[in-house]
A = this chain, B = another copy of it.
Amino acid sequence: MKVIYLDNNATTRVDRAVLDAMLPYFEESYGNPSSMHSFGGNVAAAIKTARQQVADLIGAGADEIVFNSCGTESDNTAIRATLASYPDKRHIITSRVEHPAVKSVFESLARDGYRVTFVPVDSQGNLDLDYFYDHLGDDTAIVSLMWANNETGVIFPIEEISLNVKERGIVFHTDAVQAAGKIPIDVARTGVDLLSLSGHKIHAPKGIGVLYVRKGTKFSPFMIGGHQEKGRRGGTENTASIVGLGKAAELARERLARGDYRCVSELRDKLENSLLADVPHTLLNGDRQKRLPNTTSIAFEYVEGEAILLMLNEYGICASSGSACTSGSLEPSHVLRAMGVPFTAAHGSIRFSLSGYTTEEEIDFVLEKVPPIIDRLRQMSPFWQQAQKGAQSA
């Protein structure tokens, strides 16, 4: 069965060019980049190129790029490194809609005695800026706010916020795992000190991540061992994946420059507008404007998201009911709850996330299949039947 992959915020297909770039580093140039011999040294040169490619994607300097194993490691490192550097500051701020890799660390720190502010969002998923600025204090060690939300695609005004936070002398971290490669990022125009990026969201393989560390930022390594990454991350460099990520960053930069995401965005809009028009009792989750071009989160009221996914799966359509990192949990998404999405809508929310590989044919196929699926599920749903009775008797 043909797979229609609309789950690109969970992970992406590795680009052929990325894989081609990686292949020489398994069987041929497999030396350890830290070795004295030139067999290892040649590998170090390839890593240097990749470091520059990644730096160029976000307007950073090559020295500010620290390779590690994933976005989760970047988030853990950014937060832990900052707290280790400012042991006297005991207050930390994040939002209520962060990815588990940030959220769980903050929750763990709260248990350890840190004072934690979770900034709320409005019904569109936009940050409550007044609340945020009111809670910044002299005791605040770090602000960690995502650039774009993984479930709704909603974009926070990171450039503006980070510049304001920087003025206060507080370290600013952003989880840009979903934003990088999909919208332009130029750290030079921001007050961002630390930025997380993940390879497998931009058509590089799983298991490779980056932490951008602005020059001059106090830093204390999280993963301790050898002198790799200028003492900022121990462990033998994951050469093949680093080279792959470099290539993926270069390709992402070219796609942004060419405006490829306009096509992705058009397909996303077609999918979204048609579903909202064709299926009754359907809501869009999140701000329609300030949003990633590839993401839509749609609430199908009175049905179970998991049931929709299973029926989509029968047609080879891959989507998600929330973050893959929280799947398996029966709780509705913390992101949608923070936005105040009603229970009956949050439970039936589906995220479709597109990529440059998505075709109009695929979108048409999805548009053909989804409305009858929702209709069928609603016929079986006690919530739906109740709601219908309520409407009739009203």
Chain A residues within 8 Å of B, Cβ to Cβ? 3, 5, 7, 10-14, 16, 18-19, 26-27, 30-32, 34-40, 68-73, 75-76, 99-101, 104-105, 108, 198, 200, 205-208, 223-228, 234-241, 306, 309-310, 312-313, 316-321, 323-329
Contact = CB atoms under 8 A, between A and B. Distances in A.
A40 B207 contact: no
B27 A240 contact: no
A86 to B, nearest CB: 16
A224 B75 CA distance: 9
A60 B235 CA distance: 25
B100 A234 contact: yes
A323 B105 contact: no
B40 A10 contact: yes
Contacts of A226: 72, 100-101, 323-326
A40 B3 CA distance: 11
A88 to B, nearest CB: 16
A219 B23 CA distance: 37
A75 B235 CA distance: 10
B206 A237 contact: yes
Given A318-B35, A318-B37, A227 B328 contact: yes
Contacts of A40: 7, 10, 318, 324
B7 A75 contact: no
Contacts of A310: 36
Nearest to A208: B207
Given A70-B238, A76-B234, A99-B225, 19 more contacts: A10-B34, A13-B30, A14-B26, A34-B325, A34-B327, A34-B328, A35-B327, A36-B306, A37-B318, A39-B318, A72-B223, A72-B225, A72-B234, A100-B234, A101-B224, A101-B226, A206-B236, A207-B240, A227-B325
B26 A234 contact: no
B35 A7 contact: yes
Contact of A224 (B11, B68, B76, B235): B76
